[in-house]
Each structure stands twice: as structure tokens, then as C-alpha cells.
Amino acid sequence: MDTALLIEKSILVLLLFLVSLGAAAYMTYFERKLAAWIQDRVGPDRAGPFGILQPIADGVKMFLKEDFIPAKADKWLFIIGPGIAMFTALITSAVIPWGPKLHLFGRDITLQVADINIGILYVFGVISIGVYGIMIGGWASNNKYSLYGAIRASSQMISYELAMGVSAITIVLLSGSLSLNDIVTQQSGVWNIVYQPVAFLIFFICALAELNRAPFDLPECESELVGGYHTEYSSMKLGLYLFAEYTSMFVSSAIMSILFFGGYNFPGMSHFSGNTLAILGIAAFAIKIFLFIFVIMWIRWTIPRFRFDQLMHLGWKSLLPLSLINLLVTGLVIAFKNGWF
């Protein structure tokens, strides 16, 4: 391995880390603003012009709060819980192709930390680990509300991962590759959403459930479970949980734009080349991610929470059969096109 590659990847990792955290921080600001606008309010506007320093103020506040560990809590697990949540939220972004190749200092720089050939499997694996952060945190708190939140989170994750996985398989069928880079490059002409609107819908709904976002925010529903799995958490441990949630929202918006909306591809791409193309591609990708984040937040401030049995009903009886039928139809069409009949 040459040193330049190592430096290049290290810089990319550092950049990704900063961008994910920065994006997560400003998503909290944007979410509060959006919530305010939807409710005919102004939102945070005191810290800096238009309140743009609000995330920094929030961060400082989080750090200065008392870091409290309940006496009956399992200390080791209590500390490791938010760590796992944050860790998994951050490492998902390693396989995401952020843009076309950049040409700098006489080198072709791929804007992807690791182009592993099982990108989708990696993403799903990491997301599945993510629930451990919530589960361990809820269990270690030694509090019934936290435990309820943790149990809900795990059952919800298991239920929705199935339908999510099946709808991702349809994309894999379509592109014939598990690598996210291949999936993106194949969408340079027509985006996958054209072929797979149903799969997208299912994937999107399941992603909301996996993110514990409204209307599926049962693990932390304030009105029933005090704070859900993070009831006992305070200070930056709570901050890490909340941060992890926003970071995974950012990452899953990126995944959704890769799988269904062509990643960094944009119409009229063939007119550009080189670094211009790379920068425009990154911009296009960023816009797509932003739009997804916007829609996810918009949904949160529109729709009330599901009841738990409704959640299970939707997951097992509607989305899973629907995604299986979609998979079957896609498979049949592909088989027919390839002349297997």
C-alpha cells in the first residue's frame, strides 16, 4: 500500500467524520426551524443571525450538564450504549460513494473510503448492530421505561429490516451487484426509482422505522415512555444518542439516494468531465440527501405516532408481503428479459 493512498483515505475519513457530525448538528437546527415553520412559529433565532449558532450552543450545553449514572445501572453497559450507537452511525458512511473520481495532484481520488463488493450487506449489517446501542442503553439504565423503549426498538428493527432487505434485494437483482459503487454507476441513464417505485416506497417507510423517526418513534415516544431508551441518560451520553440518530438519518438519506435516485448522477451529466463533473456530482448528491432529510422531517411534523400493534400490522402484514410480491415480479420480468422462458 502506498503512502499517498493512506494519506488520501485518512483525509477522506476525517472529512467524512466532520461532515457527518456537522450535518447532524445542523440537522437539529433545521429540524427545529422546520417544526417551527409548520407550526406557524419562528424557531430558534437568538444565537447568532437567524439562530445559526444554535447547534453550537446546544453542544456546549450538553457538555456542561451533569453526567449522571444511576446507582442501580450497569455502569459498563450504560457507558458503552451511546458509544455503540454513535460508532455504528458513523461507520456506515465508509462505503458510500460521495461523487465521481476527483483528479488532484496527479492522482485519481475515489470519493469512497472503501469500495467493498458487498456494500449493501455491510450497510445492513452495521444498521443491525445499531440497535444494540439502543438495547444495551435501555437495559443498562435499570428503568422500566428505558427497557420498554429498548424492547420496542428491537422488535421494530427486526420487523422492518425484513421488508427493507427484500426491497433492497430487488435493487440488487436489477443491478446484479452488491457494490454501492456499481449500483450508482449503473444509474447514470435511468434512475432505479423509475423501475422500482414500490420498492422505494417500502424502503423509505422501513428506513423511517429503522431510524426511529416519527411516525415510528415508539422507542422514545415522549408521551408514553417519558424518554424511551434514553430516559436515564444525561449530558453528552444523551447527546451522543441524539447525535447518532441524526447521523444515521443523514447516512440513510444518502443510501436511499444511492439505491433509488442515482447517487451522484444528475441529468445532463455527459456535458461535464473531470473535476467539474466531480464537484457537480457531489453537489447533486448533497441536494438529494438534503431533500430526503427534508421529507423525513416534514413527515415527522405531520403524522402522529403509530400504535404498537398498528406498527407490527403494517410491518408484517402489509410491507413484507408487498415487498415479496414486488421481488417476485421483478425476478420474473428480469428472467423473461434474459430469455429464460
Residues lying near another protein in the complex (CB under 8 A) are found at 34, 37-42, 45, 201, 298-299, 301-303
Tell me how far apart the alpha carbons of residues 94 and 115 are, in angstroms, rounded to a whole number: 9
Cβ proximity to another protein, 42 vs 328, nearer residue: 42
User: What's the closest the beta carbon of residue 299 comes to another protein, in angstroms?
Assistant: 7
Give the list of residues 6+ apart from residue 332 with CB closer than 8 angstroms, or none. Answer: none
Cβ proximity to another protein, 77 vs 201, nearer residue: 201
Tell me whether residue 133 is exposed, middle or buried, using C-beta atoms within 10 angstroms of its C-beta: 0 to 12, 13 to 18, 19 or more. Answer: buried
Which segments of the chain are extended strands (E)?
A: 102-104, 107-109
User: What's the closest the beta carbon of residue 166 comes to another protein, in angstroms?
Assistant: 19
Q: Which amino acid is at 78?
A: F
Cβ proximity to another protein, 57 vs 299, nearer residue: 299
User: Going by DSSP bridges, is the β-strand pair 102-104/107-109 parallel, antiparallel, or unpaired?
Assistant: antiparallel
| CA 14 from centroid of its chain's CA atoms | 19
User: What's the closest the beta carbon of residue 257 comes to another protein, in angstroms?
Assistant: 20
Cβ proximity to another protein, 244 vs 293, nearer residue: 293
Cβ proximity to another protein, 189 vs 197, nearer residue: 197
User: What's the closest the beta carbon of residue 38 comes to another protein, in angstroms?
Assistant: 5
User: What's the closest the beta carbon of residue 200 comes to another protein, in angstroms?
Assistant: 13
Tell me how far apart the alpha carbons of residues 126 and 202 are, in angstroms, rounded to a whole number: 20
Tell me how far apart the alpha carbons of residues 218 and 209 are, in angstroms, rounded to a whole number: 9
